[in-house]
């Protein structure tokens, strides 16, 4: 998969190994190394910064703030949100959903006994939260979807997130593709990560894609922010008026 075969002006139609059949132990090692990349390259920062800006606007002492993470994978993002909330005295009710039951089991096993996160194996498009979520978040999820499914996901979040939603994903560009390709090999990350990391960047969207998909989802009349975060993150945020 040399970079000179890719046109970064267009989204690549490539396959990620993690999306195929995989023994649970192999998946565990892969997801563990993805979490390491998230820590090393500040992958949680965009989501935490957004939550810091919106949660205080709606936090009520009568009940916890409900946050739903779609495509939760290893669960490291939600565990990081849980630590962030506890450090600030914010009461939260956290739920992670993933279509892969093995990923959900791995996320639960990786969580400390004191964690209050609820893990659910479900297809997001067939899932209706028992209680309305205040916020829906996702990380490194949307680049796995076709454009029409991203549009469906935007509409799903708009329906189920009472106060807003946040997409934390990658930005398609040649430089981060090449750098991640080299770094993953030097760091001797799991072979899936060495393959899927660069592929994820090649499959990611750019701002023009997000603008088009938001319009297709009926969000052209709403406030949606599309923002780059270093390194190589492109995030889409919607904060609903209070």
- Distance from the Cα of residue 228 to its chain's centroid: 15
pLDDT over threshold 70, residue 217: yes
Dig out the tokens for 106 from the structure.
């791995």
pLDDT over threshold 60, residue 4: no
Residue 212: partners with Cβ closer than 8 Å, 6 or more residues away: none
Cα distance between residue 119 and residue 72, in whole Å:
9
Per residue in 61-110, pLDDT (tens digit) is 688 999 999 999 999 999 999 999 999 999 999 999 999 999 999 999 99
pLDDT over threshold 70, residue 36: yes
Peptide bond into 100 cis (omega under 30): no
By the 8 A CB rule, do 95 and 77 touch?
Answer: no
Question: What is the average per-residue pLDDT within 17-22?
Answer: 92
**pLDDT given at position 44:** 98
**pLDDT given at position 1:** 53
**pLDDT given at position 221:** 75
Q: DSSP string spanning the chain?
A: --GGG--TTS------GGGS---HHHHHHHHHHHHHHHHHTTTTHHHHHHHHHHHHHH--TTSPEEEEEET-TTSHHHHHHHHHHHHTT--EEEEEEES-HHHHHHHHHHS-TT---EEEE--GGG---SS-EEEEEEES-GGGS-HHHHHHHHHHHHHHEEEEEEEEEEB--HHHHHHHHHHHHHTT--HHHHHHHHHHHHH-B-HHHHHHHHHHTT-TTS-EEEEEETTTEEEEEEE---
Protein fold of 3-239: Rossmann fold (3.40.50)
pLDDT over threshold 90, residue 131: no
Nearest to 63 by CA among 158, 136, 112, 133: 133
Q: How many residues does the chain have?
A: 242
Confidence of residue 57 (pLDDT cuts 50, 70, 90): confident
Averaged pLDDT of the chain = 95
Per residue in 168-200, pLDDT (tens digit) is 999 999 999 999 999 999 999 999 999 999 999
Q: Would you kindly state where each structural domain of the chain is located, as residue ranges?
A: 3-239
Per residue in 199-216, pLDDT (tens digit) is 999 999 999 999 999 999
Question: What is the average per-residue pLDDT within 55-61?
Answer: 79
Q: With pLDDT > 90 as the criterion, what percentage of the chain qualifies? A: 90
**pLDDT given at position 59:** 65
Residue indicated by tokens 């090393």: 40
Neighbours of 58 (CB within 10 A): 15
By the 8 A CB rule, do 205 and 172 touch?
Answer: yes
Using a cut of 0.85, tell me whether the model's pTM lies above it. Answer: yes
Q: With pLDDT > 70 as the criterion, what percentage of the chain qualifies? A: 97
**pLDDT given at position 242:** 75
By the 8 A CB rule, do 92 and 64 touch?
Answer: yes
pLDDT over threshold 60, residue 2: no
**pLDDT given at position 5:** 73
């Amino acid at each position: 998969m040399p970079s000179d075969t890719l046109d970064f002006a267009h989204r690549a139609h490539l396959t990620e190994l993690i999306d195929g059949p995989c023994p649970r132990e192999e998946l565990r090692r892969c997801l563990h190394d993805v979490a390491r990349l998230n820590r090393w390259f500040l992958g949680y920062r965009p989501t935490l910064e957004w939550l810091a800006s919106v949660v205080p606007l709606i936090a009520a002492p009568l009940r916890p703030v409900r946050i739903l993470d779609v495509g939760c994978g290893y669960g490291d993002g939600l565990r990081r949100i849980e630590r962030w909330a506890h450090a600030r005295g914010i009461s939260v009710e956290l739920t992670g959903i993933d279509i892969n039951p093995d990923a959900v089991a791995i996320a639960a096993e990786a969580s400390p006994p004191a964690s209050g996160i609820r893990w659910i194996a479900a297809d997001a498009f067939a899932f209706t939260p028992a209680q309305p979520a205040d916020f829906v978040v996702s990380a490194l999820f949307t680049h796995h979807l076709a454009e029409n499914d991203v549009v469906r996901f935007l509409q799903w979040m708009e329906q189920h997130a009472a106060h807003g939603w946040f997409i934390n994903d990658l930005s398609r560009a040649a430089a981060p593709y090449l750098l991640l390709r080299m770094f993953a090999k030097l760091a001797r990350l799991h072979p899936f990560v060495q393959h899927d990391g660069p592929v994820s960047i090649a499959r990611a969207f750019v701002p023009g894609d997000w603008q088009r998909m938001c319009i297709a989802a009926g969000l052209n009349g709403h406030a949606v922010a599309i923002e780059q975060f270093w390194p190589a993150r492109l995030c889409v945020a919607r904060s609903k008026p209070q």
